[in-house]
Amino acid sequence: MYDTVVIGAGPAGMTAALYAGRSNLKVALLERGIYGGQMNNTAEIENYPGYDHISGPALAEKMFEPLEKFGVDHIFGTLVRIEEDGPIKKIITEDDVLETKTVILAMGAKHRLLGVPGEDTYNSRGVSYCAVCDGAFFRGQKLLVVGGGDSAVEEALFLTQFAESVTIVHRRDQLRAQKVIQDRAFANEKINFIWDSVVEEIKGDDLRVQSVRIKNVKTEEVSELDFGGVFVYVGLDPMTDSVADLGITDEAGWIITNEKMETSKSGIYAIGDIRQNQLRQIATAVGNGAVAGQEVYNYITELAE
Ligand code: FAD
Ligand code: NAP
């Protein structure tokens, strides 16, 4: 019987596991992939306090290191559903059942798809969702980045070190990205913009992407431009399928919590990007994790009294 099982080892989950482990609770950290979550998809983090800049995978390793010292059990697996049996929660994975007094949900978010013809056909054959993973395969090519948020603009900047040029296509005429990131993109000679426009179709031959059909949403004009790769950064969807039956999410699937990270279900907490939340960052994920790690300690202490 665990005191708490943390689901997801991104920055939120690793911090919650650290705080709960340091409080001498019996903690399991369940992760279906590699530790670090979305941080693994970025080469350059410069808004996490304490570091001028650090790569995502390096920061993930730093966060993971202390967990062993505090006795956190690492379990590889995917949460399928949670069953409640009185005060006990059963964590059902694909091949295991874990029993616990509390659960901390930290499954984060996943990149959204564009949903246009050709996206699926050319996935991994010119269409990518991770510049850090795939950028180096596109040396000397003309690349298209779709989106206007922090991810699109920051990853476009990253791609300029490999690409001949990077075009950002955005559906409005103003970026959503933070100003400091925008300024860098506007100053970069390799980056150009197509405003007020959306991708209609990604086209290619039997092997790879070759061109993209783009429509201007104001003039309705459609053009077909040559690109060797398309990087899609059009936002995030919550990873809440496995808890959809608990009734703790809003209409879009984000989990609703109070300031203590408590959901409407007693003993079930949610932290980080998976929460209904304005700012989805590593620093906020870590802050949420600290609160939840401490709150499960308070909850379990009260249970014992
Ligand atoms: P995540 O990082 O999404 O981690 C969730 C974890 O849960 C994952 O490891 C996943 O595999 C696991 N999981 C999901 N479902 C299950 C399941 N059913 N069972 C078991 N495990 C599961 N933020 C910054 O502050 N600065 C930056 O510079 C920055 N750059 C970014 C660049 C990119 C390209 C992206 C995509 C994001 C960036 N962010 C940045 C945002 C930041 O990475 C996220 O806000 C942060 O990682 C959220 O942490 P999290 O722990 O809530 O979730
Ligand atoms: P985001 O902020 O939600 O931005 C998504 C972008 O895609 C928006 O510009 C949006 O347009 C556009 N878009 C959405 N659906 C589209 C569609 N179907 N077709 C075309 N365009 C579409 O997502 P994100 O950039 O992935 O960032 C996610 C979170 O991670 C944010 O909280 C962000 O701050 C954080 N992050 C932080 C950093 C950093 O701090 N350095 C880096 C990366 C990510 P509109 O603008 O018109 O809505």
pLDDT tens column, 12-69: 999 999 999 999 999 999 999 999 999 998 888 989 999 999 999 999 999 999 999 9
pLDDT tens per residue across span 131-142: 988 899 999 999
Closest ligand, as measured to the CA of 53: 1
Strand order, beta sheet including 209-216: 197-204, 209-216, 222-226
> To the nearest whole number, what is the mean pLDDT of the chain?
96
Flag whether pLDDT at 278 surpasses 90.
Answer: no
Q: Are strands 97-105 and 88-93 parallel, antiparallel or unpaired?
A: antiparallel
Q: Is 103 in the pocket of ligand 1 (CB under 6 A)?
A: no
Nearest CA to ligand 1 atom 19: 78
Flag whether pLDDT at 117 surpasses 90.
Answer: yes
Question: Is 3 among the residues known to form the active site?
Answer: no
**pTM exceeds 0.85:** yes
Question: Is 150 among the residues known to form the active site?
Answer: no
Closest ligand, as measured to the CA of 200: 2
Q: Is 110 in the pocket of ligand 2 (CB under 6 A)?
A: no
